[in-house]
Every structure is written in structure tokens, then in C-alpha cells.
């Protein structure tokens, strides 16, 4: 069977990477609030700090998110 690469999420992305939001899981309890904070599809995010919580730069602001929440945010890498 062909191996499918696991999807890249904000939780699994590396620190310092520039990312583009592909999709936010609609089951996520904070889905609408995430969108309203600027995590809408196509927005560009830079992951600044990793740990139990993650800090990322988004539209000029810094947002701290729990790791579990970041797993709901599917992203793709952007060229540096």
C-alpha cells in the first residue's frame, strides 16, 4: 500500500517555519474564534515557539494556542 504522508498541522510544524493555513477542522470547539482571530484559510502564520503551548505570529499579532488546538489547524510550508 502506498504510504500517505501525515498531514502537517500547526502542532507538528517546526519552530521558525512560515506556514499557510489550509484548513481548520470544523469539529474544533474554537473553529469560529480561530477564524475570527485571523486563522482563516490562506492566512500566513509563522511558528515562533513550541512546547505545551505554541506561539505564532499572525497578521502582525502574536497568538498563543494550546498544542491540542494546533492539531486542528492544517497548514502547508511556504518557501522561506
Partner 1 sequence: MSDGIFRRVAIAGNPNTGKSTIFNALTGLRQKVGNYPGVTVEKKTGKFFSSHGEAMELIDLPGSYSLQVRSPDEAVARDLLLGRIAGVARPDVIIAVVDASNLDRHLYIAAQMLELGIPVVVALNMVDVAEEHGLVIDLMALRERLGVPVIPMVASKGTGIIELKQAVSRTPLHKPEQRAQLPIVYETELAALGKKLPYPAETARLEAMLLLSLDDTGLAEQCDPAHRADVAAAQARLRTHGIDPLAAPVDARYDWVAAICTAVIHRHGEDSDGLTISDRLDIVLTHKLWGWLAFLGMMTAMFLCIFLVAKWPMDWISAVVDAVASWTKTKLPDGDLQSLVSDGVIHGVGAVVVFLPQILILFFFLGLLEDSGYMARAAFIMDRLMSRVGLHGKSFVPMLSSFACAIPGIMATRTIENRKDRFVTILVAPLMSCSARLPVYTLMIALLLPAAGLWEKAGIMLSMYLLGIVAAFGMAWLFKKTLLRSETPMLLLELPPYRAPAIRGIIQRMWERGVIFLRRAGTVILALNIILWALLHYPKPADKSAPESERIANSIGGRAGKMIEPAIAPLGFDWKIGIGLVGSFAAREVFVSTMSQVYDVTDDDKDKLMDRVGAAMTAEKRETGAPMFTPLVCLSIMVFYVLAMQCLSTVAIVRRETNSWRWPLFQIAYMNALAWLASFLVYQGGKLLGWQ
Q: Which three cell numbers stand for residue 7?
A: 498531514
Residue 1 vs 79, nearer CB to partner 1: 79
- Closest to partner 1 by CB, 8 or 37: 37
Report the nearest approach of partner 1 to the CB of residue 22 (Å): 13
**Of the two residues 1 and 80, which places its CB atom closer to partner 1 in the complex?**
80
- Selection from 42, 29, 17 nearest residue 69 by Cα: 29
Min dist. Cβ of residue 76 to partner 1 (A) = 17
* Contact status, residue 19 vs residue 11, Cβ threshold 8 Å: no
Whether residue 73 contacts residue 10, with contact meaning beta carbons closer than 8 Å, is answered with yes
Amino acid at each position: 500500500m502506498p504510504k500517505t504522508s501525515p498531514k502537517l498541522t500547526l502542532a507538528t510544524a517546526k519552530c521558525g517555519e512560515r506556514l499557510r493555513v489550509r484548513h481548520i477542522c470544523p469539529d474544533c470547539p474554537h473553529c469560529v474564534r480561530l477564524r475570527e482571530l485571523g486563522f482563516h484559510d490562506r492566512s500566513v502564520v509563522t511558528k515562533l515557539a513550541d512546547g505545551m503551548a505554541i506561539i505564532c505570529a499572525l497578521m502582525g499579532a502574536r497568538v498563543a494556542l494550546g498544542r491540542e488546538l494546533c492539531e486542528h489547524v492544517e497548514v502547508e510550508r511556504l518557501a522561506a
